[in-house]
Structure 1
Amino acid sequence: MSADQGLNQSVERATSVLATFLDAGADLRVSDVAQRAGLGQSTTSRLLATLEQLEYVERDPATALYRLGPAVVGLAGAAVNRHPVHREARQRAQELACATGLGANVAVRRGASLSYLCNFEGRLAPRSFTLMGQRKPLHATGLGKCLLLGLGPAQRRELLPDLPRFTAQTLTGHDALDAELAAVAERGYAVEREELALGRACVAAPVRDHAGEVVAGISISGPLSAIDLPAREAELGRRIVEVADAISVGLGYVGPRHQSATLDGVRS
C-alpha cells in the first residue's frame, strides 16, 4: 500500500508541475514552477529534469527557462482527435469561420467551466493563439449558457454557487441567469455581449447527442464591430443553429423526444 501511495504522490506532483504552465503567459523559472505547484525547489527541479527527458517540458538553452514540450502536444492532439464532438464539429466549424469571417469555437463542459475543443479564426477575428484546452466561465459566455441548458435551476445553483463579475454586463444573479437561459431555450441560441471581455460578443447554440442531452456548444465570436449584433443577430443566430443541428445529427440526435412520441401517436 505504501508503494502505491508513493507512486500516486509522484504522479500528483508531476501533474501539478505540468499544470503550472497552463495559464503561464511566458516561460517559467524553476522557482516560479515550485511556487505555483506548492512544492520545494529541489523536488521541482528533479521533476522538471525527469519531465524534460520524457519531452513533457523543454528548457530554453539560452535562458534556462521551461515551457511545455512536444510530448504534451502529441497527447493533446490524440485526446481531441478521439473526441466524438471534435470529429463531428471540426470541419463545420472551420467552414463557418471561413464563411462568416468570424471566430468559430466548439466547447464542452468540464465541471464548473467550459473547455474549448477547437477554434478557428476568420479574417475579421484574428488570434495569435489557440483556445484549445483553455477554460472559461459558464455564466459569462454564450457557449457556457448553452452548456447550462443541460442542467436545472437547482443543479446550476449547486454547480455555480457564485457568479463572478467580469464586466458591467456580466449576469451575477441566478434569477437573471434563469431568465436568460429560458430565453436561450426559446429562441434556440445564446447571445453574449461584453459579459466576459469588453469589446467582444458571440452567438452560440447547443449541440445534442443521440439521447438529446446537451454535450457541447458551438459559437461565432469576434469584436463588436465585426460581429455587428444589432444588424446581424438574426442571421448569425439562424446560421449557428443550423450548424449546431448538423453536428447533433452527426452525433445521432433525431429531435426532441416529445415530438417523436407525438408523431408516433398520430401514426398509430
Structure 2
Amino acid sequence: MPGPIQSLERAAAILRLLAGGERRLGLSDVASSLGLAKGTTHGILRTLQQEGFVEQDPVSGKYQLGAELLRLGNSYLDVHELRARALVWTDDLARSSGEAAYLGVLHQQGVLIVHHVFRPDDSRQVLEVGAMQPLHCTALGKVLSAFDPVAHSEAAEAEWTALTARTLTDPALFEEELALVRARGWGADLEETWDGVASVAAPVYDRRRMPVGAVGVTGAVERVCDAEGVRSRLVAAVRDCARAVSRDLGAGRF
C-alpha cells in the first residue's frame, strides 16, 4: 500500500496551523512552527494561495485561511443531515431560552461544533462553528460520552486538562457523572470549561435510536442556574429541542 504524500501532509499541517492561534502568520512563523525550510513552506503557501485555500495580506505579507476553504467547510456542513434537520429547532431553542444554542458531534476525541445560533441580544459574539470542545468537561461532551460507547472510549483515551478549578479530571468521578447523565437524560457543565459560564445539553438520536450528536445552550452561570442548579425551564427547552431533532431524523417519539 502506498504511503502518505509528504507535500499533502505538510499542506494539511499549514492549514491546521493557520486555523488556530494567531489569525495571520508570516512565512518565517509558519516555517519555524512546523520545522520546515522557508523555501518549501513558501512553495506550499503559494500553491494553497492559488487554489484559494490561503490568502496573503498585501500590506503585512502574512497569511490566513482563504475563502475557498470556508466554502468547502460550509458545503460539508450544509449537507450534514443532522445540522440540516436541526436548523429550525436550534433557532427556536436560542429564542426561547435567551441563550446561545450549539449542536455538536463526536470528532477526534472531542466535540465538533457543527451549528451555533447566537444568543438573541445585541452583545458581540463569535461564531464557533468548526470549534472543538473537550469531552470530559463540557455539557455536549458529557452527553456524547454517556450515550455513545465510541465517545465514551474516546473520552477515556483523550488528554484531560483542568480548564478551571471545577473541571472534572478524576475518571471515577467522571463515570459517576455519566451515570447521572444517563439517569436524567441530560448533562450539565457548571463552570468546568469557562469560569462564569454554564451549559446544559441533551442527546440527539437517529432512526435507529443511535446517538448521533448533542444539542445544548450556554450562558452566564447566573442566567443558566438558580439556587437549585440548572434552571428547569432551560432543561425542558433543551430536551424538547433534542427530541424534535431526533423525530426529524426518524427516531420517533420517546
Fold shared, TM-score > 0.5 on shorter chain: yes
Alignment RMSD: 2.3
Structure 2: gaps spanning 5 or more residues:
none
Tell me the alpha carbon deviations over residues 188-230 of structure 1, each in whole angstroms, 9 at most, x when there is no partner.
Answer: 1111110011010011001111112111000111112332343
Q: Distance in 1 between matches of 2:117 and 2:7?
A: 37
Task: Give secondary structure in 1 for the equivalent of 2:64.
Answer: strand
Tell me the alpha carbon deviations over residues 26-75 of structure 1, each in whole angstroms, 9 at most, x when there is no partner.
Answer: 21111111233332221111111111111111011111111101101110
Deviation at 1:128, TM superposition (A): 3.2
Tell me the alpha carbon deviations over residues 126-166 of structure 1, each in whole angstroms, 9 at most, x when there is no partner.
Answer: 45321111111101100000110234599537743643211
Q: Distance in 1 between matches of 2:150 and 2:215?
A: 22
Distance verdict in 2 for CA 1:77–1:161, change over 3 Å: closer
TM-score by length of structure 2 reads: 0.91
Tell me, yes or no, if structure 1 residue 16 matches structure 2 residue 2: no
Distance verdict in 2 for CA 1:169–1:52, change over 3 Å: same
Q: Distance in 1 between matches of 2:248 and 2:151?
A: 31
Residue 135 of structure 1 aligns with an amino acid whose one-letter code is: M
Q: What residue is the counterpart of 1:265 in the other structure?
A: none
Q: What residue is the counterpart of 1:163 in the other structure?
A: 160
Tell me, yes or no, if structure 1 residue 78 matches structure 2 residue 75: yes
Deviation at 1:178, TM superposition (A): 0.9
Q: Distance in 2 between matches of 1:255 and 1:112?
A: 30
> Contact between 1:101 and 1:125, CA under 8 Å: does it hold in 2?
no
Q: What residue is the counterpart of 1:220 in the other structure?
A: 217
Structure 1: gaps spanning 5 or more residues:
257-268
Q: What residue is the counterpart of 1:250 in the other structure?
A: 248
Q: What residue is the counterpart of 1:43 in the other structure?
A: 40
> Contact between 2:99 and 2:219, CA under 8 Å: does it hold in 1?
yes
> Contact between 2:146 and 2:152, CA under 8 Å: does it hold in 1?
no
Task: Give secondary structure in 2 for the equivalent of 1:21.
Answer: helix
Summarize the alignment of residues 66-215 of structure 1 with structure 2, pairs less than 5 Å apart. 66-123=63-120, 126-152=123-149, 156=153, 159-160=156-157, 162-215=159-212
Distance verdict in 2 for CA 1:134–1:158, change over 3 Å: closer
- Stretch deviating more after TM superposition (183-192 or 90-99): 90-99
> Contact between 1:125 and 1:223, CA under 8 Å: does it hold in 2?
no
Distance verdict in 2 for CA 1:195–1:76, change over 3 Å: same
Q: What residue is the counterpart of 2:239 in the other structure?
A: 241
Q: Distance in 2 between matches of 1:154 and 1:109?
A: 6
TM-score by length of structure 1 reads: 0.87
Q: Distance in 1 between matches of 2:216 and 2:47?
A: 40
Q: Which structure: larger Rg? A: 1
Distance verdict in 2 for CA 1:34–1:160, change over 3 Å: same
> Contact between 1:163 and 1:173, CA under 8 Å: does it hold in 2?
no
Task: Give secondary structure in 2 for the equivalent of 1:86.
Answer: helix
Q: How many residues align?
A: 253
Residue 88 of structure 1 aligns with an amino acid whose one-letter code is: R
- Stretch deviating more after TM superposition (34-43 or 214-223): 34-43
Task: Give secondary structure in 2 for the equivalent of 1:119.
Answer: strand
Deviation at 1:5, TM superposition (A): 5.2
